[in-house]
Structure 1
Amino acid sequence: MSLLSVSSPTLVPHQRLCDTAIYARLSRDRQRLSENVNIQIAECQAFADEQGWPVVGVFPDDDVSASKFSKKPRDQYELMLAAVRRGEINIILITEMPRLYRRMEELLDVIRLAETTKLRLLITTDGISYDLSTAEGIHAAINAVNNAMLESARTSKRIKRKQAVRAKQGKVHGGGRPYGYEADGLTIRESEAEVIREAAERFIIGESCRDLVCDFNARGIRTATGKLWRIENLQRTLLKKRYIGVREYDGQEYPAEWPAILTREQWEQMEARRLSRSHGWPKGKTGTRKYLLSGGLIYCGRCGGEMVGNGRTAESGRSAVLRYRCRRTDNHGNTIGCGKTFRIAAPVELLVKEAVLTAFDDPKIAVLLAPKGDEDQIRELVKTYEARKAKVDQLVTDYATGVLTREQFILAKQVAEAAIQEIRELLAQAQQQTALAQVPANQSIREAWDTAGLAWRQKIVGLVVEKVVIVPGGRPGSKTWRGFRFDPEFVRIEWKA
C-alpha cells in the first residue's frame, strides 16, 4: 500500500524513525452501530504491518468523546502523549482524523510537541499523511480538524433538533431507567412509585432529605441502579417534573406520554419548601444537623449571642457528648459572643420537647395555629420567586453585554436579591403552617413527634417557641433531673404570642 501525503511525498526511510503508536477512540454508542475500538486497532495494525513499521504502543479510549463538550478525560491519549515526550514515538496512526481530534487546542499542543520531540507524522489508514515538520503538513492537519469540528457542530444541531421534536411530543429522553418506572420510562413500577409518594408527603410536612435517606437505606430501599440513596440524589429525584407528567426541554414544559406519580400541587409544595431555605450553610457549620435547637432557637443568657451545637469527642476516658456552646468569634475573627456558656444538649432538648408537646395538648393552641391550607398562596409565591430569579439572570446578561455598567449592575442586583429573600421568608412562614397541617388525622403532635425527622420537629418547636435562653449559673451535679445532672431552672423558654 502506498501513502498519499498531503505534505510530503517521501516516506520515512529508516525503520528506527518509524516507531508507531496506534490510537483508537469510540464515543458512547447506544445502538452499537459504529465500529468499535478493536476494529480500529486491527485496521491500524494491518496498515503498519504493510509499511513495515514497528508498533511501539496501542492506546485505546473506549466510550470517550473528543468534542469540546466532553468533560471525560482521555486517559490513553494522555499516556500516548507522555510516550511522545519521552521520545518513543515518531508516528501516530489512526483510522481517521476525528478519532484523534475534534478540538483545535489539542492539535496545537501536539504541533508544539513535534518541535521538541521525535514525533513527525500523523497518518490515517486511508493513506493521508500530515507531516508536522512542514508548514504544508501543519496547514493540512489544521484543515482536517476544522472539518471535524464543523461536522461535530452539525451533528450536535441535528441531535438537538431531534430532541426538541421528541420533547414537544412528550416522549422519553432516553438514558437509564428512571426511578418509579420500568425500563421503557412509560410504565409505572408501583413498588417504587409508593416510595416516591411517601417521600413527597414526608418532605412536605417538614422531614429533611437526610432523615428520609437514613430511613430508606435502613429499610433496604435502593435506587433504580441498586445503590444506597444519597441526600442530593433523593432531593434531585423528588423535584423532577417527570413525576408530575411533564417533559422538560430547554426551559419549556410539555405534556408527557407517561403517567404521573405525584400531583402538581405536591411538586409545588416541595419546591416551596426548597426555596424557603437558604442556599447553603453558613461557613463553619456542616450540612448535617444533630441538634433540635440549632439554627436560631437557642441563645446565651450571658451575652445574648446565638449558641451552636458543639459536640465533645471521646478522649481521656471521657465519653462523647453533644452540647450547646456560646460561640465567641465567627469565621472572620469578629467577636459575636462571650464564649463562656456551655450546656449538655440532651436534657435541654428533653425539657423543650416536653414543654412544647404540653403546649400543643392545649386545644386553644391547636385553634390558634390552625393552618390556612392556602395552596394557591404557595403556588403564587413559587411563581413570584421564579420571576424574580429570572430578573437576576437577565441583569447578568445585561451587564455582560454592556447594557448596564458595573455600578448599575451591583445596585440592581442588590435590589433584586432583597426581593428574592423576601419571597423566601414568606415561603418559610407558609411551610411552617404546612408542617402542622400534615400531622396525620389519627395522630396527635405528641404521637407524630416520635416517628418524625429532626427537621419537622424543629419546625414544630418554631411554631410556638421564640427562643430558648441558657441562663448562666448552677453547678454541674448540684441537682438531678430525669437522670441528668441538670437544673431546669437555668433554662428559660420564651414563647411566641
Structure 2
Amino acid sequence: MKCTKGASYERISKADVGDEDGVIRQGEDTAELAERRGIPLAGLLGEVDTYEVEQMSERAQREMRQRVERGLPPTGPRCFGYTADGAELVEDEAAEVKDCFHALLAGASLSGMAARLNERGILNRNGRPWSYNAIRGVLLNERYAGLRQYRGELYPGKWPVIVDEATWRAAKYVLEDESPAMSPGPGRRWLLSGIARCGVCDDGTTVTSGSRGGPKGTRGLTAPLYRCRRTKHLARGTEPIDLTVEEYVIRRLSRPDAVDLLVDETSPGTAELWAKAVALRSRIRSLTDAFAGDDDADAAVFKAAIRRIKARLADVEAQMACLQRARILVDIVTAEDPAEAWKDLTLDRQRAVVGTLATVTLLPGRPGRAPFDPRSVRIEPLQGMG
C-alpha cells in the first residue's frame, strides 16, 4: 500500500501531536500504524517529505507571482543604483548607471567604462572594482527600465526607473548583436587600431598598434606604430596619422549640414524597432530549430522563409543604425565648438565617431626621413556621411 497526499497521509500525520512527548510519540505511533498496515516506513517518510517540499515550493511560487503582479522589486542582493529593499534610488549610483547606458549607445566599450569607473574610485555593489562582465551585467539588467522577468516574460514594476525601456532595449541589442558594427569591442589605446585598414593588403585587413625602439642613447623610449595585422609590410607612426584623421572629423562635423546626420531619437517607433529586431531574430532561431528536428521538412521552403525574415531584419537594422549614428555624433554636432567637444570625448567615443563617419586606409609612408605626407592616409566617407 502506498501513502498518498490524501486521507492516509492525513490520518497518520495527526497521531498524538498534542502529547507532552509530541515529536517522539508521533514518530512512534506513525511507525506502529505503518507497521500494522504493512506500509514500508522509509517509503512513507519519503512521501511525507516530498509532499512537504512540494507544498513549500508551491507557496514560494505563489508569493513570487504575487510580488511580480503587484510590481514589487525583486528580493536578494542589492542592485547597484537602488537601496537594499529596491524601492528607492541611490542617486549617485543611479547617475553612474545612466551614464553607462548612454556611453554604450554612443560607442563606448565595456572595458573603457569599467576602467573609468575604477579610476574615479567608484566601486560595484560588493565594494569591488568594476570588470567587463560586471558592466555588461548592469546594462543587460531589465530592472533599470522598471521591468522584471518572470518565467520568460517581462512585467512592469512600481520602483523608480533609471533609463526608459527603449534605452534598455537598445543597449541589450548592441550587447547581444554579434556583428562587429554593433558589438562594442575591447578597450584600445590608439585612435585607429582595429579600425584603419592596411593599404598594402587593400582587402579589408585592419591595422593593430605596436611600437619600435627610440634612437640610440634613449634606452627605454619607444615610438607607437600602426602595423598591418598580417605582416610587417606596413609600419607607420601614430601621431601624424591621428592628427590627420582628427582634422577631417572636426572639419566634417563643423559644417552647417552636419545636423543632417542626426535623426530624431524621440520619434514614435524607436522602442518598437528594438522589439521588432528581437522578435525577428527569435523567429529565425525557432524556424531553424523546427527544421533541424523535422526529417520531412522542405529545405527550399525553409530557406525561402528564412530569406524573407532576414530581409525584414536587415531593414530594421538599417533604421537602428541611424539611431546609433545619431547617438554617436550628437555631442559634437550640437556643440558650439566641435573641436573642443572632440577633445572632451573619451578615446572609445572618438573611435566610434571615426568608424561612423569614414573608412580610413593607411598607405606606406615615404622612405627615410621624408616629411609626413597626408595623402598617405586615405579617408573615404561612408554612405550618407560625405
| TM-score (normalizing by structure 1) | 0.58
Cα deviation digits, residues 121-167 of structure 1 (max 9, x gap): xxxxx99xxxxxxxxxxx99899889877865665454334322221
How far does residue 220 in structure 1 lie from its aligned partner after superposition? 1.1
Q: Distance in 1 between matches of 2:41 and 2:239?
A: 75
1:446 aligns with 2:332: no
Query: What residue number does 2:18 align with?
Result: none
Residue 491 of structure 1 corresponds to which residue in structure 2?
A: 377
Native 8 Å contact 1:305 1:327 kept in 2: no
- Give matches, 1:15-34, under 5 Å: none
| Superposed CA offset, 1:404-445 (max 9, x none) | 649579847963567545544442332012222345955533
1:162 to 1:313, Cα distance in 2 relative to 1, 3 A: farther
Amino acid at match of 2:378: R
Aligned residues of 2:148 and 2:156 also touching (Cα < 8 A): yes
Matched, 1:477 2:366: no
Cα distance in 2 for residues equivalent to 1:395 and 1:318: 59
Letter aligned with residue 222 of structure 1:
L
**1:45-444 matches, cutoff 5 A:** 155-274=56-175, 278=179, 287-301=186-200, 303-312=202-211, 319-328=221-230, 340-364=233-257, 366-373=258-265, 375-399=267-291, 402=294, 405=297, 407=299, 411=303, 415=307, 416=309, 420=313, 423-439=316-332, 443-444=336-337
Deviations 1:296-326 (A, max 9, x none): 5433146444222142487995645543333
Secondary structure at the counterpart of residue 210 of structure 2: coil
Taking a change above 3 Å as real, the CA distance of residues 421 and 371 of structure 1, as seen in their structure-2 partners, is closer
Matched, 1:460 2:353: yes
Aligned residue in 1 for 2:23: none
> Counterpart in 2 of 1:332?
none
Q: CA deviation at 1:471?
A: 2.3
Query: One-letter code of the match for 1:207?
Result: A
Is this contact kept in 1: 2:109–2:348, CA < 8 A?
yes
Contact 1:276 / 1:425 at 8 angstroms: preserved in 2? no
User: Quick one: distance in 1 between partners of 2:65 and 2:286?
Assistant: 24
Counterpart of 1:376 in 2: which secondary structure? coil
Given that residues 292 and 457 in structure 1 are in contact (C-alpha distance below 8 angstroms), is that contact kept between their aligned partners in structure 2? yes
Deviations 1:375-415 (A, max 9, x none): 43432321211111221342255246538649579847963
State the alpha-carbon separation in 1 of the partners of residues 43 and 296 from structure 2. 39
Instruction: Give, in whole Å, the separation in 2 of the partners of 1:418 and 1:152.
Output: 50
Measured in 1, the distance between the counterparts of 2:324 and 2:188 equals 19
Aligned-pair distance for 1:279?
Answer: 7.3
Give the 3-state SS of the residue equivalent to 1:450 in structure 2. Answer: helix
| SS of aligned partner of 1:325 | strand
Larger relative helix fraction: 2
Deviates more, 1:309-318 or 1:235-244: 309-318
Give the Cα–Cα distance (whole angstroms) in 2 for the partners of residues 354 and 194 of structure 1. Answer: 33
Determine if contact 1:207/1:456 at 8 Å carries over to the other structure.
Answer: yes
Secondary structure at the counterpart of residue 309 of structure 1: strand
Q: What is the letter of the counterpart of residue 267 of structure 1?
A: W
Identity %: 26
Q: 1:46-87 deviations in whole A, cap 9, x for unaligned?
A: xxxxxxxxxxxxxxxxxxxxxxxxxxxxxxxxxxxxxxxxxx
SS across alignment from 2:161: coil
Q: Distance in 1 between matches of 2:296 and 2:340?
A: 56
Q: Please state how far the C-alpha of 1:211 moved relative to its aligned partner.
A: 2.4
Structure 2: distance between partners of 1:166 and 1:409: 45
Structure 2: 5+ residue stretches without partners:
1-26, 29-39
Query: Mean Cα displacement is larger for which, 227-236 or 410-419?
Result: 410-419
1:372, CA displacement in angstroms? 3.7
**Per the alignment, in what secondary structure is the counterpart of residue 321 of structure 2?**
helix
Contact 2:198–2:363 (8 Å) recurs in 1: no
Query: C-alpha displacement at 1:175, in angstroms?
Result: 0.8
Distance (Å, rounded) in 2 between the aligned partners of 1:142 and 1:405: 48
CA pair 491-317 structure 1, distance change in 2 beyond 3 A: same
Q: TM-score, normalised by structure 2?
A: 0.72
> Equivalents in 1 of 2:107, 2:282: separation in Å?
27
Other-structure match for 2:16: none
Question: For the structure 1 residues 487 and 176, does the alpha-carbon distance in structure 2 shift closer, same or farther, using more than 3 Å as the test?
Answer: same
Measured in 2, the distance between the counterparts of 1:151 and 1:279 equals 52
Q: Number of aligned residue pairs: give it.
A: 342
Q: 1:228 to 1:349 in 2, by over 3 A?
A: same
Q: In the superposition, relative to structure 1, how do residues 148 and 255 fare at CA in structure 2: closer, same or farther (>3 Å)?
A: same
In structure 2, the CA distance between the partners of 1:362 and 1:418, relative to structure 1 (3 Å rule), is closer
Q: Give CA-to-partner distance per residue, 1:149-196, whole Å, 9 cap, x none.
A: 786566545433432222112122211111111111102222212222
